[in-house]
Structure 1
Amino acid sequence: MANSPEEIKSHFKQYSIVGAGLFAGTVATVLVATVPALDIGGHGFDSADMILGFAIAATKMFFVAFIFMHLNHEKKLIYWVFLGALVFAAILIGLFALAMYDPITFKTLLPAKPGQ
């Protein structure tokens, strides 16, 4: 943390550059989602567009975590906690993805119509 106005001024340029990068990433995400010329996969939203959007979001997340949340100056234990949270999030995403292969479908949960 900055303890004097001089330290704040020394970090202002770095924060401004990162803020501009985050804004540019947001604009890029919107453009990829709305401009047909920037559609990298098939026509419309598909997995290639999702991967590109996720890559842009992950880059923005690292900027926020390491610069604005000051993780670039922390002790080793904080990195392990951060990595553990990322692994836990990946496991939860994996469990969510496995729901596609669940044998119980929406149709089996509906009551049967009379005469079937």
Structure 2
Amino acid sequence: MSEHIVPKKTYYAVFGALMALTAITVFVARFDLPWILNIVVALTIAVTKATLVVLYFMHVRYSSRLTQVVVVAGIFWLVIMLVLTASDYVTRGLLAPVVSISAQ
């Protein structure tokens, strides 16, 4: 089994992209965007940065198919957990609060 040798140029390019995305995050945070747009922009930048780290610094891009399947399965499981959490969070305001009447 041989290892894939990644050129330093690739690492420098990924590092530069991560620094640029961090600068964009700081720049966008200074603006008062509508609340949903803030979330979308922040999550898009965060997911892009996480993808770069996983693919290049954790060497998933050059690893076996089994490793890639495990990473995709982990991401799929995370999405399931986030959807279940979001569905609970969104529906909390729809039900009227239950008021208990205590016997006096």
Q: Does 1:65 align with 2:58?
A: no
Which portions of structure 1, spanning 4 or more consecutive aligned residues, are displaced by more than 3 angstroms? 102-105, 110-115
Candidates 12, 20, 27, aligned match of 1:16: 12
Candidates 94, 97, 101, aligned match of 2:91: 101
Instruction: Report matched runs for 1:84-99 at 5 Å.
Output: 84-99=73-88
Partner of residue 30, structure 2: 34
Q: What is the Cα deviation at residue 49 of structure 1?
A: 1.7
Tell me how many residue pairs correspond in the alignment. 100
User: Counterpart amino acid of 1:65?
Assistant: V
Q: Name structure 2 gaps, 5 residues minimum.
A: none
Q: Bigger relative contact order, structure 1 or 2, given CA contacts below 8 A and separation 6+?
A: 2
Percent sequence identity over aligned pairs: 23
Q: What is the Cα deviation at residue 63 of structure 1?
A: 0.8
CA RMSD of aligned residues (A): 2.8
Larger helix share, 1 or 2: 1
Normalising by structure 1, what TM-score?
0.70
CA separation in 2, counterparts of 1:24 and 1:114?
63
Q: Deviations over 1:83-109 (max 9, x none)?
A: 11011000100111111314677x64x
Q: Does 1:52 align with 2:29?
A: no
Normalising by structure 2, what TM-score?
0.78
Q: What is the Cα deviation at residue 50 of structure 1?
A: 0.8
